[in-house]
Amino acid sequence: MKTGASKRTGFWFILPSMVFVLIFFLVPLVAVLIMSSTNFPLLGDVEYVGLQNYKDMMSDTEFHQTIIQTLIYTALVTPPLFFVGLGAALLIRRTNKLSSFFRTFFFMPLVIGFGSAAFLWYWLLDPGTGYIPQLLRDLGFGAMEKPILGYMPGALLAVILMVVWKFSSLQMILLMAAMQGIDPEVLESSEMDGAVKWKQLRYITLPLIKRTLGMVFILSIAGSLLAFDQFFIMTGGGPEGQTETMVFYVWRQAFRSFNLGYAAALSVVISIALLLVSLIQVRFINEKD
Amino acid sequence: MVLFLSPILSSLFHSLKTPKDSASSPPTYIPPTFSLDNYQSLANSSSGIISDGIYLYIGNSLLLAGLTVIGTLILATLAGYGFARFKFKGREIYFAIILLMIMVPFQALLTPIYFLFAQVGLQNSLVGLSLIYITYQLPFSIFLMRNTFMVIPQALGEAAMVDGCSPFKVFRSIMLPLAQPGIISVALFAFFASWNEFIAALTMISVQEKYPLPVVLTLLSDRQMGATNFGFLQAGVVVTMIPCIALFLVLQKYYVSGLVSGGVKS
């Protein structure tokens, strides 16, 4: 099918989706760049301010603080996500009835929404009626003096716990799929050579799934840098803004303070940061295992 | 495994307590008496927290998800087939744009989308919101459909073309039925994404009658007379979770294959 007619046919198949991409992606993408160089008040005339918004960002210590907090969150949530995911993948990588039964339950947190999960944990951690403080009391840790979500570092750690609960099955399934792609003979021959289990993991299994390892790391990093729902719902950014993330701050600037121009500039900066992270991901995807 | 399931069961148990039991501290793990009171007050809005019964909001979420699933399916099957079978002008550019869509965070475009929607009166419109969801489901869905169509033998379509079928007829009558597994995965992910999405819904919809379920939960968690009614909130959480869990249990195979094969954005 290399005729001119087929070229046009292909175009007709693509066109409908292209219209959506144009209107709801490319137009906003151009708009955010334009908006970022204006003051863009909700009412009144739009005024071109050049790079002023970007200059303001340099001295916006509140924004800097949210960058640091987002980076800390990302650094803290990525390792437990990975290790729980890897552990689960090793435990139930065999495809028998029992392991697929376990896998089903393991996936439950992933399929429920982020919003539902956050509201679930918001209650679960409630000092009065929540089950977790009660469980801690029952286990003899004593009554908690302060509500977990109201204080640092409890608030941050609680959110991390929720996210690990929710997303480690995603990491597990990606790692498991990669491990199942390994030639079983490679593993068998290393076992015959007397390789201990963890050495086999360290020197054979993990290097063979390097590409997937890179992908799950990037996935977790990119997702964490954009964190919003879990903090908005569980901590409201508190205590005293200490769990406010970058996206949270931008959202507040745009939709609470209505500084649309400044929010647009912040959005551009975050997009560039994420674009860089994603470029690393593309490198991993293109790289052969 | 118990660790992963128990929060969900806890939520279910807590929602099945009487309002008095669900407010009592310390809590009991298992409801002393099972009661549907929390669900009843969700259903008939007698709580005063939400202005309408929960059915209205379930309807909003269903409408949103239905539109997103249908729109995504139509656009992604067409485009996926186009990418899998045809060479056309601008193919590389379009492909690059779709890659760019994966990289640019959707949250960063909320501000301009909000502004643009305000200009054309699409704020507070569930249809408008579904248009956004459809668009941002496209990269994942197009890739998945492209991969699905690529493994269908091309000869099947060519034979029909020789018999005088139009390319679109080949697509509709021969290719689509064969692409069913991919179609189910795409539909499933479009449902999950639209049913659960939070930040755009929170931003775009500001009138309560149009709230989808995840945003309704923010109302249910509001304090009434100094305290959140957690049994009531968990009933809302359960209502929001159940369709996802049910669909997953029925279509687990398609969910897992979608996760593994697709660009993986969940």
Alpha carbon of B19: minimum distance to chain A alpha carbons (Å): 12
DSSP string for A122-139: HHHT-TTT-HHHHHHHHT
Q: What is the mean pLDDT of chain B?
A: 90
Task: Return the structure tokens found at B89.
Answer: 């002008």
The pLDDT of residue A255 is 93
Domain B52-261, what architecture? Answer: Orthogonal Bundle (1.10)
Q: How far from A60 is each of A56, A251, A261, B73, CA to CA, in Å?
A: 6, 16, 15, 44
Please compute, for residue A167, the number of CA atoms within 13 A of its CA located in the half-sphere on the CB side. Answer: 25
* Highest mean pLDDT out of A39-53, A66-80, B87-101, B244-258: A66-80
- The angle formed by the CA atoms of residues B103, A28 and A26, to the nearest 5 degrees, is 65
CB B39 within 8 A of CB A139: no
Hey, what CATH topology would domain A60-286 get?
A: MetI-like fold (1.10.3720)
From the list A120, A140, A115, A142, the residue with the least C-alpha distance to A131 is A120
CB B19 within 8 A of CB B38: yes
| Residue matched to tokens 């429920």 | A112
What pTM does this model have?
0.92
Q: How far from B211 is each of B58, B60, B126, B203, B234, CA to CA, in Å?
A: 9, 7, 9, 11, 18
Q: Does the beta-carbon distance from B228 to A126 stay under 8 Å?
A: yes
CB A46 within 8 A of CB A38: yes
**Cβ partners under 8 Å of residue B142, min gap 6:** A17, B75, B76, B79, B80, B83, B98
A-chain residues within 8 Å CB-CB of B264? 170, 174, 215, 219
Bond into A239 cis (ω within 30): yes
Cα distance between residue A271 and residue A230, in whole Å: 20
Q: Which of B27, B138, B260 sits opposite A21 (nearest CB)?
A: B138
- Helix/strand/coil (H, E, C) string of A67-98? HHHHHHHHHHHHHHHHHHHHHHHHHCCCCCHH
> Closest chain A residue to B251 measured between Cα atoms?
A104
Beta strand ranges found along chain A (DSSP E): none
From the list A116, A28, A34, the residue with the least C-alpha distance to B192 is A116
pLDDT tens digits, residue range B163-189? Answer: 888 888 889 888 999 999 999 999 999
Cα distance between residue A35 and residue A40, in whole Å: 7
Q: In a 10 Å sphere around its CB, with 0-12 CB exposed, 13-18 middle and 19+ buried, how is residue A272 labelled?
A: exposed
Count of residues making up chain B: 266
Q: Does the beta-carbon distance from B234 to A116 stay under 8 Å?
A: no
pLDDT band, residue B111 (cuts 50/70/90): very high
CB B236 within 8 A of CB B57: no
Task: Return the structure tokens found at B262.
Answer: 């697709």
The A residues from 47 to 106 touching B (CB cutoff 8 Å) are 102, 104-106
Task: Return the structure tokens found at B165.
Answer: 């079928």
Indicate the domain borders of chain B. 52-261
**Cβ partners under 8 Å of residue A146, min gap 6:** A127, A154
DSSP string for B153-170: -HHHHHHHHHTT--HHHI
Residue A260 touches partner B, C-beta closer than 8 Å? yes
Q: How many distinct helices (H) and strands (E) make up chain B? A: 14, 0
The pLDDT of residue B266 is 35
Q: Does the beta-carbon distance from A173 to B260 stay under 8 Å?
A: yes
The pLDDT of residue A9 is 85
Burial A171-209 (b: 16+ CB within 10 A, else e): bbbbbbbbbeeeeeeebeeeeeeebeeeebeeebbbebb
Least confidently predicted of A208-217, B41-50, B117-126: B41-50
Q: Does the beta-carbon distance from A123 to B233 stay under 8 Å?
A: yes
B-chain residues within 8 Å CB-CB of A10? 82, 85-88, 91
The B residues from 130 to 159 touching A (CB cutoff 8 Å) are 131-132, 134-136, 138, 142, 158
From the list B76, B88, B86, B247, the residue with the least C-alpha distance to B148 is B76
Residue B105 touches partner A, C-beta closer than 8 Å? yes
CB B135 within 8 A of CB B117: no
B-chain residues within 8 Å CB-CB of A264? 111-112
Cα distance between residue A109 and residue A113, in whole Å: 8
Say whether the ipTM exceeds 0.90: yes
Cα distance between residue B262 and residue B266, in whole Å: 10
CB B233 within 8 A of CB B217: yes
- The angle formed by the CA atoms of residues B23, B211 and B9, to the nearest 5 degrees, is 40
Q: Which of B76, B131, B256 sits opposite A17 (nearest CB)?
A: B76
- List per-residue pLDDT tens for chain A, 289 residues long: 444 566 788 889 999 999 999 999 999 999 999 999 998 876 777 888 889 999 999 999 999 999 999 999 999 999 999 999 999 888 876 666 777 777 888 899 999 999 999 999 999 999 889 999 999 888 888 767 788 898 889 999 999 999 999 999 999 989 988 888 888 888 777 776 666 777 788 888 888 888 888 889 988 999 999 999 999 999 999 899 999 999 999 999 999 999 999 999 999 999 999 999 888 877 766 665 4
Q: Does the beta-carbon distance from B237 to A120 stay under 8 Å?
A: yes
B-chain residues within 8 Å CB-CB of A20? 75, 131, 134-135, 138
Q: In a 10 Å sphere around its CB, with 0-12 CB exposed, 13-18 middle and 19+ buried, how is residue B62 labelled?
A: middle
Task: Specify the DSSP element, H or E, that contains B138.
Answer: helix B126-150
